[in-house]
Structure 1
C-alpha cells in the first residue's frame, strides 16, 4: 500500500543543509523513509519558483516574470511543477537507490539545448529564456553538477529512521549522522536516552 503524502508548504525558507543545490532539492520532501506518512513541501509551481529564487537559481526579476506567466498559464505551470518533482525523484533514485541517471541526463540535455553560453566576467554562464521552464532548467544544471563532483563518496543520509534528508558529509571524520543536529539529532538522542532508562528500570 502506498504511503500517504501530506502536501504542506513550508512556512519558513527551504532548508539549505545538503551542501549542494540538488541535495537541497531532494530535501523538499521530508519523512521520505516513513512507513505512515511523507511530507511534500514542493506542493505547486509557486513553491518551485520560491525554491529556485531562495537557492539563487533565478533572480528577483525572473521570479516575478515566471510567477506572472504561471498566473496566465496555470495548466502549463502545473505540468512544469510535475516535471520538477519527477526530476527530483529521478535524481534521488540515482544518488541513493542505484537508479538510472538517464532521466537526469535527458533533463540536462533539454536545458542545454534551450540555452546559450554567454560571457560572464572572465568565464561563461548559461542564459535561458525567461519562461515557465526556467526553474527546471536551472535545477537540471545543478543536478548534473552534483553528479560530476569528485566527492560523491561523501553522499550521506540522515540516520533518523524516518527523515530521509540527504547531504554531503564534509565533517573531518566523515561521521556526520544527522541532517540537523538540533532537530533529528536531539530527537534521537532523547529517544535513545529514554530507551536506556527503560532498560535500566527493567
Structure 2
C-alpha cells in the first residue's frame, strides 16, 4: 500500500498514540474509546488492528516487544519509527492548516429536501434535532469525569470542537423547524405524482 493511501485520520490517530509510547493494538483500541477519538475517526470492527499491520508493512511503526498474560494470546507492542513521525507531522499540519472540501450526507440531503412535503421536512429535522441534542448530553456526561480527573483541555480539543458544531447545528435546526412551521420559510411543493395509467387487462376486466 502506498503512503498516499495511508494518509488517513486513522493513521494519524494510531501514530499519535504510539508517539506517546509503544503500545499494543488492544491498548490502542481502549485509548480510542477513552479519549473519544471515535468522534473524529471512523472505525469498523478490526480496522485498528488492520491499520497497525499496514503501518508496520509501510515501515511507519515497528514491533518492540511481545508479551503474554496468562492464557491470553501473545500481544505485540509497536513503536513509531522516524518515517512514522515524519508522516504524523505532515498529516497534522495538513489537517489543521488546510481546509478540505468535505461532502457530508446531511448537506446532500438538504440540497434535495424539497422532494418531501413541508410537514415531512419538519418531522425529519425535528427528529435530527432530538438526536443531536441527545448526543450533546451524552458527550457531556462522558466528559464530566475526565474534567474532574484534571485531564488537560488540549487533549480533548477535538471533542470540544465536535460539541461546538453540534450546538450550532441544534440551534440552526430549531430555527429552520420554527420557520417552516410558522410559514416564514415558504415551501415549494413539488408536482404530485401522476397516477399510473390502467393496463389493457385492467380495461378489459373492470
Q: TM-score, normalised by structure 1?
A: 0.28
Question: Which structure is larger by alpha-carbon Rg, 1 or 2?
Answer: 2
Higher strand share: 1
Higher helix share: 2
Q: TM-score, normalised by structure 2?
A: 0.28
Higher-RCO chain (CA-CA 8 Å, sequence separation at least 6) = 1
